[in-house]
Amino acid sequence: MHCIKKITNDLIWVGANDRRLAFFEGVYSVPAGVSYNSYLLTDEKTVLFDTVDKAVRQRFLENVEVALKGRKLDYLVVQHVEPDHSSVIPDLIRQHPEIKIVCSAKVLEFIKQFYEFDIDSRVHLVEENDTLNTGKHTLQFIMAPMVHWPEVMFTYDSTAKILFSADAFGHFGALNGALFADEVDFAKDYMDETRRYYSNIVGKYGTQVQSALDKASALNIEMICPLHGFVWRSNLNEIISKYMLWSRYEPEERGVMIAYASVYGNTENAAEILACRLRDKGIKTVIFDVSVTPASEIVSAAFKWSHLVFASTTYNAGIFVTMEALLNDLAAHNIQNRRAAVIENGSWAPTSGELIREILGKCEKISIIENNVSIQSGIKAAQLSDIEKMADAIAADFPAPSGVVQNNQTVPNTVDPNTMFKLSYGLFVLTARDGNKDNGCIINTVMQITVTPIKITIAVNKANYTHDMILKTGKFNVSVLSEKAPFQVFQQFGFKSGKDTDKFAGSGEALRTSNGVRYLSEWTNGVISGEVKETIDCGTHTLFIAEVNQAFSLSRDASVTYQYYFDNIKPKPQPPKGNKKGFVCKICGYVHEGDTLPDDFVCPLCKHGAADFERL
């Protein structure tokens, strides 16, 4: 029986899941299965985006027929020829001989290599940025070579603002009834398998992933439809920000991954002692026995952690087999930009340490912590001391973050403004109207102070045009931003001045509360209208005390907090190109170049002061 899912009014998921596959690509264990996604667009022309693996051929073909509802299939867009997405093309053509195959020249070449059918008579070749109109929708084709094979192409539906992203943004794991990432706890339950998929499948091609991300950043994307795993329709930055990190080989977490190969437990003993000493210093650690844990999981962990320790016994005058295989696997996946340390063991001629360093030496930007530990059989007092020195050397890379008070440190008698971010501040769009002028800005201070009547306070920077409008009119709206708000909302309302821009440009229909002030219906979970009763001059800001005369909820989505904004919405600052010196605004990412930053400096974008800048 068919099993399809509606994505939008004219886009249907017609893919299938496989939970019987033991090893994806014959290498990567997939205990939770895998999904093969295919999408049918039912515009004036019908368009299928890719097919599936032969393992789920029958279900897929039935799905397509049901979704087509008797219509003919006009186009098949082939974005990737790896057989997990193409092996049903010949069956599809037998079922729909009318089909036109939309693909690049490289895809055509690969299809001819893999399959025997008449493609020349039905091919519609496309190149970078070519478009295809299918009625209401316009499809734009974007080449994404080496994400994961050289022929890979993305498709952007500029009408629906959907990116069909081939293998990019996919993950291991079957879909268990849900189709959208926001239907599950993605960070908790799926991010590890997304990292394992990324690091093992496309990890080698970080530069190419970066250029595909660059191209995608020019598009207005509201949904991502990958060929494996969940569809993203909200909080796209959660997955895009991870791809930015992984493709630059930047660690996600500061901590130490220890991988060991041990025959009789002595090398394992060294790994355990090192981990304990590191934990004593407050450093996060994970340990893997490379003879037990599948290499794909350790490769994935190496992409996650900042420091890597390899501990191996010497075997046949070389590195122990499973460790040697892991190191070669890591080098093949282009692991780089890490700090590493090495522990060797060998009862009569320990050589594994030197050989491990040789393999790591071929990787880019892997710097070795030169505190060696060399064990001859069991650990004695001298080696224990060496392990402790290694722990000290690693710990030297983990200075206490500035401003964070350690356990036994005297608390500073100063005000660290970053501490304020630990309050569960929300973030809000504050809007006002003066005559025919609508305007708005981002604020983070809204608080209820009384119940009868309901009164709230808002603090507004005097530099904001919205401030002056509220001071003049006494009326405002607070739209409470939810965790689904994209960074663009913060850019639109927070980083521009309403004096010279229309903050509502492109916001669609002008929705107003009964006080005549506009509000945001998208990305918000509630709206509060206030009428100013008192003002208090607080220097840079005015505190408005207002009576609430209208308030309503728009969704059950969680309100965004400052912490959530920093962790999940605000793009991470990019490393400067070249040798630029300067300071970056932690709030909006603005870069001020130069050796010094004046104390009274104010960010020209978001108006935060020098305290919110840090050195590049």
Task: Find the part of the chain contacting ligand FEO (CB under 6 A) among 78-86, 107-115, 183-191, 304-312.
Answer: 78-86
DSSP strands (E only) in 250-361: 253-261, 285-289, 305-315, 318-319, 338-345
Beta carbon nearer to ligand FEO, 239 or 430: 239
Beta carbon nearer to ligand FEO, 144 or 587: 144
Is residue 196 involved in binding ligand FEO (CB under 6 A)? Answer: no
Beta carbon nearer to ligand FEO, 162 or 166: 166
The DSSP bridge pattern shows strands 162-164 and 153-157 to be: antiparallel
Which residue from 357, 163, 173, 378 is spatially nearest to 270, judged by alpha carbons? 378
Residue number with the smallest Cβ distance to ligand FEO? 82
Quote the least distance from Cβ 1 to ligand FEO, whole Å: 25
Is residue 228 involved in binding ligand FEO (CB under 6 A)? Answer: yes
Beta carbon nearer to ligand FEO, 82 or 238: 82
CB 439 within 8 A of CB 531: no
- What secondary structure does DSSP assign to 369-395, as a single string? P---EEESSS--HHHHHHHHHHHHHHH
Quote the least distance from Cβ 311 to ligand FEO, whole Å: 34
Is residue 193 involved in binding ligand FEO (CB under 6 A)? Answer: no
Of these, 38, 60, 64, 85, which contacts ligand FEO (CB under 6 A)?
Answer: 85
Considering only residues 435-474, where is the footprint of ligand FEO by CB under 6 A? Answer: none
Quote the least distance from Cβ 334 to ligand FEO, whole Å: 17
* In the block, residue with structure tokens 């004096």: 499
Beta carbon nearer to ligand FEO, 87 or 285: 87
Of these, 43, 84, 268, 557, which contacts ligand FEO (CB under 6 A)?
Answer: 84
Is residue 227 involved in binding ligand FEO (CB under 6 A)? Answer: yes
Residues 289 and 295: their CA atoms lie apart, in Å, by 10
Q: Which amino acid is at 300?
A: S
Residues 213 and 250: their CA atoms lie apart, in Å, by 16
Quote the least distance from Cβ 51 to ligand FEO, whole Å: 11
* In the block, residue with structure tokens 């722990």: 391
Quote the least distance from Cβ 225 to ligand FEO, whole Å: 13
Considering only residues 101-160, where is the footprint of ligand FEO by CB under 6 A? Answer: 148-149
Considering only residues 150-189, where is the footprint of ligand FEO by CB under 6 A? Answer: 167
Residues 361 and 357: their CA atoms lie apart, in Å, by 6
Helix (H) or strand (E) holding 353: helix 352-361
Task: Find the part of the chain contacting ligand FEO (CB under 6 A) among 81-89, 97-105, 300-308, 312-320.
Answer: 81-89
Q: Indicate the DSSP class of residue 567.
A: I
Of these, 14, 30, 37, 80, which contacts ligand FEO (CB under 6 A)?
Answer: 80
Is residue 21 involved in binding ligand FEO (CB under 6 A)? Answer: no
Is residue 43 involved in binding ligand FEO (CB under 6 A)? Answer: no
Residues 208 and 145: their CA atoms lie apart, in Å, by 7
CB 388 within 8 A of CB 270: no
Residues 147 and 164: their CA atoms lie apart, in Å, by 13
Reduce the DSSP state of residue 400 to 3 states and report it: coil
Quote the least distance from Cβ 76 to ligand FEO, whole Å: 17
Which residue from 374, 343, 341, 316 is spatially nearest to 261, judged by alpha carbons? 343
Q: What is the CA radius of gyration of the chain?
A: 28
Quote the least distance from Cβ 147 to ligand FEO, whole Å: 9
Beta carbon nearer to ligand FEO, 85 or 433: 85
Quote the least distance from Cβ 152 to ligand FEO, whole Å: 8
Is residue 333 involved in binding ligand FEO (CB under 6 A)? Answer: no
Task: Find the part of the chain contacting ligand FEO (CB under 6 A) among 82-90, 232-240, 467-475, 485-493.
Answer: 82-90
Question: b/e per residue, 148-163, with b = 16+ CB within 10 A?
Answer: bbbbbbbbbbebbebb
Number of residues that bind ligand FEO (CB under 6 A): 9
Task: Find the part of the chain contacting ligand FEO (CB under 6 A) among 79-87, 123-131, 367-375, 495-503.
Answer: 79-87
Of these, 10, 18, 50, 82, which contacts ligand FEO (CB under 6 A)?
Answer: 82
CB 339 within 8 A of CB 255: no
The encoded tokens of residue 159 equal 């009408």
Quote the least distance from Cβ 227 to ligand FEO, whole Å: 5
Quote the least distance from Cβ 205 to ligand FEO, whole Å: 11
Sign (positive or negative) of CA dihedral 246, 248, 250, 252: negative
Quote the least distance from Cβ 26 to ligand FEO, whole Å: 13
* In the block, residue with structure tokens 């082939």: 78
Reduce the DSSP state of residue 486 to 3 states and report it: coil
Reduce the DSSP state of residue 541 to 3 states and report it: strand
Which residues of the shown chain bind ligand FEO in the complex (CB under 6 A)?
80, 82, 84-85, 148-149, 167, 227-228
